[in-house]
Amino acid sequence: MSTARRILVKVVTAILVLVAAASVTFFAQLLVPGDRATAILNQQTGRAQLWTPAQLAPVNHEFGFDKPLIVQYLGYVGGLFRGDLGTSYTQYKPVTQVIDAQLMPSLVLTVGALVAAWVLALAVILATVRRGRFVTGLGSTWEALTASLPTYWVGVVLLVVFAVEFRIFPVIGGTSAWGTVLPVLTLAIPLAGFLGQITRDEFEKVLDQPFITARTRGMSDAGVRLKHALRHSVLPAITLSGWALGALVSGAVIAENLFGRPGIGQVLVTAVNTRDVPTVSGIVLVVAAVYVVANLLVDLAYGLIDPRLRAS
């Protein structure tokens, strides 16, 4: 299969997965118990009552509930391709408007955490692999421990220690650079443990490879580790970085709520609490899209990093 054809197949598959994901979120909206127009009116007025058909009609019309299901479905999927995610039940405005301003802070948080996790993981790997039993053990124990910590607990400990006891960072950080440090670390520490566990195994294997002969040329140990071994041992963890994005988004929802940081995680939890299903669906779909695209890019990039895979 030629490279162009291979890429085309992968892109088409990704689009099909996303259309299927959109179908899931569309039909999910139909699963809301009871009549949707009634639910919307009750949500807005804060009451729990039955409404007359005359009162329900304008709501049904505005959200298009009066049209046949297939028309609603095609309208929804078609709207997605035009960048329309539907209308919020509680705010009566397009979901894109509700989440628009919140995307950037969340993106800063997740990308910052991914970078920080890599830096942390590599620093621990370079410092502890093959440095005697004790130091090596310390490194792998740290990785195993941090990899299994739940995000909220890491966040709570960081908050209590560095914001409440020592007052180095603010308790409620907003989007300021200083206030972003703790949320980023909250997401980065467990992820670094996870990436480190995978890279460590590879790094040890690579150090035993016959091509690590640079040492006999008089290169320093640190030089061998940085220039030769590292390059070959990060591949598996890079593949998993695309997957890690999903874990990061889940973590961001928790970190944003804990640190009172604006972002789609905050909007999402508010929307879940007010049963604003279109907003929840919209955010879930945006995240799924980012996730699928990121994995597609990783998949394609992999062929560039490792030429052996291009053939197969």
Q: Which residues bind another protein (CB under 8 A)?
A: 17-18, 20-21, 24-25, 28-29, 31-33, 145, 148-153, 156-157, 159-160, 164, 171, 246-247, 249-250, 253-254, 257-258, 268-269, 271-273, 275-277, 280-281, 283-284, 287-288, 291-292
Measured from the CB atom, the residue of 228 and 242 that comes closer to another protein is: 242
Smallest separation (angstroms) from another protein to the CB of 269: 5
Residue 121 tokens, joined:
């993981």
3-state secondary structure labels for all residues of the chain: CCHHHHHHHHHHHHHHHHHHHHHHHHHHHHCCCCCHHHHHHHHHHCCCCCCCHHHHHHHHHHHCCCCCHHHHHHHHHHHHHCCCCCECCCCCCEHHHHHHCCHHHHHHHHHHHHHHHHHHHHHHHHHHCCCCHHHHHHHHHHHHHHHCCCHHHHHHHHHHHHHHHCCCCCCCCCCCHHHHHHHHHHHHHHHHHHHHHHHHHHHHHHHCCCCCCHHHHCCCHHHHHHHHHHHHHCHHHHHHHHHHHHHHHHHHHHHHHHHCCCCHHHHHHHHHHCCCHHHHHHHHHHHHHHHHHHHHHHHHHHHHHCCHHHHC
Measured from the CB atom, the residue of 125 and 258 that comes closer to another protein is: 258
Measured from the CB atom, the residue of 45 and 148 that comes closer to another protein is: 148
Smallest separation (angstroms) from another protein to the CB of 210: 27
Measured from the CB atom, the residue of 92 and 153 that comes closer to another protein is: 153
Measured from the CB atom, the residue of 21 and 56 that comes closer to another protein is: 21
Q: Are 264 and 106 in contact (CB under 8 A)?
A: yes
Smallest separation (angstroms) from another protein to the CB of 216: 37
Smallest separation (angstroms) from another protein to the CB of 297: 15
Smallest separation (angstroms) from another protein to the CB of 54: 28
Smallest separation (angstroms) from another protein to the CB of 190: 11
Smallest separation (angstroms) from another protein to the CB of 218: 41
Provide the 10 A C-beta neighbour count for residue 285.
Answer: 20
Smallest separation (angstroms) from another protein to the CB of 177: 22
Measured from the CB atom, the residue of 15 and 305 that comes closer to another protein is: 15
Measured from the CB atom, the residue of 79 and 170 that comes closer to another protein is: 170
Using the Cα atoms of residue 199, residue 202, residue 207 and residue 213 in order, give the sign of their dihedral.
negative
Measured from the CB atom, the residue of 207 and 289 that comes closer to another protein is: 289
Using the Cα atoms of residue 278, residue 282, residue 284 and residue 285 in order, give the sign of their dihedral.
positive
